Amino acid sequence: MNQDLDIKAVRLGAISIVDHYINTLCIENLFQNGVPEDPRDKIPVWKTLGIILRNIILERYPLYQIGEWALHRNLLFNSEKDSMTDDRIGRALDRLFRSDRATLLTKLVLKAITTYDIEVNRVHNDSTTISLHGDYKKYEELKAVKPRRGINKDHRPDLKQIIFSLTTSADGAIPLYFKLWDGNTTDDTTHIRNWNNLRLLVGRADFIYVADSKLCVRETLIYIDTEGGLFITVLPETRSEIKRFKNWIQENSPPWHLTIKEPNPRGKDLPERQYWTFDSPFASSEGFRIVWVKSSLKQIEDEQSRTRRIDATETELKEIASKKYRNQQKLESAVKTVLEYYKTSNYFDWKIAVQVEEHYKQDRRGRPGEQSTYRKIENTYYELVWCQNADQILFDSRYDGIFPLITNLKNDAASILNSYKFQPRLEKRFEQLKSVYDVAPVFLQNTGRIEGLLFLYFAAILVTALIERTVRTTMAKKLIEAIPIYPEDRECKFPTANKVLELFSDVRLQHIIMSGKIVKTIPDNLSDKQKLLLQLLDIDVSKFFHR
> Per-residue pLDDT tens for 102-130?
999 999 999 999 999 999 999 999 988 88
331 in a structural domain:
yes
264 in a structural domain:
yes
pLDDT reported for residue 432: 67
More confident position, 127 or 442 = 127
Q: What angle do CA 535, 537, 541 make, to 5 degrees?
A: 45
184 in a structural domain:
no
347 in a structural domain:
yes
320 in a structural domain:
yes
The reply to whether omega before 441 is within 30° of 0 (cis) is yes
> Could you give the CA distance from residue 536 to residue 545 in angstroms, rounded to a whole number?
17
Long-range contacts of 250-254, Cβ-Cβ distance < 8 Å, separation of 24 or more: 250/395, 250/398, 254/278, 254/292
Residue 325, SS3 per DSSP = strand
Average pLDDT (521-542) is 87
275 in a structural domain:
yes
197: exposed, middle or buried (Cβ count in 10 Å: 0-12, 13-18, 19+): middle
Range of the domain at 280: 240-360+374-405
Tell me the pLDDT band of 284, cut-offs 50, 70 and 90.
Answer: very high
pLDDT greater than 80 at residue 76: no
253 in a structural domain:
yes
Q: How far is CA 224 from CA 105, 175, 208, 252, in A?
A: 23, 21, 10, 33
More confident position, 360 or 43 = 43
301 in a structural domain:
yes
pLDDT greater than 50 at residue 518: yes
pLDDT greater than 60 at residue 441: no
pLDDT reported for residue 319: 93
> Per-residue pLDDT tens for 245-283?
999 999 999 999 999 988 877 777 778 889 999 999 889
Tell me the pLDDT band of 311, cut-offs 50, 70 and 90.
Answer: very high
> Per-residue pLDDT tens for 463-490?
999 999 999 999 999 999 999 888 888 8
Structural domains counted in the chain? 1
What's the whole-model pTM score? 0.85
pLDDT reported for residue 1: 45
pLDDT greater than 80 at residue 71: no
